[in-house]
Amino acid sequence: MTTKKSSCILSAAEKLVVQNMYQNLKSQYNNNISKLSDFLNTFQSMVKDEAQLSKSCTLEYLLSLIEDDLGSQ
């Protein structure tokens, strides 16, 4: 997982909700690696912009999941 200095603390249940939502979104693209890559890059940009504006712990965690996936491609 991407490590970043943050004061955000999510419970295991909150993390699970974010993980499930993210996996569900990704599953729509799993049969096409090119579309998955496009989705991840676009989604990363959107989430990063919103996370900077809202200072949301949930969005920061979601962004870390996206960045982990992009790093493993």
| Domains of the chain, residue spans | 12-71
Cα torsion 28, 36, 11, 61: sign? negative
In the prediction, which pLDDT does 60 show? Answer: 94
Average pLDDT of span 64-73: 88
Distance CA 20, CA 30 (A): 15
Give residue-wise pLDDT tens across range 22-40: 999 999 998 899 999 999 9
Distance CA 47, CA 43 (A): 6
Q: How crowded is residue 60: how many other Cβ atoms within 10 Å of its Cβ?
A: 20
pTM over 0.85: no
- Do 58 and 6 touch, CB atoms closer than 8 A? no
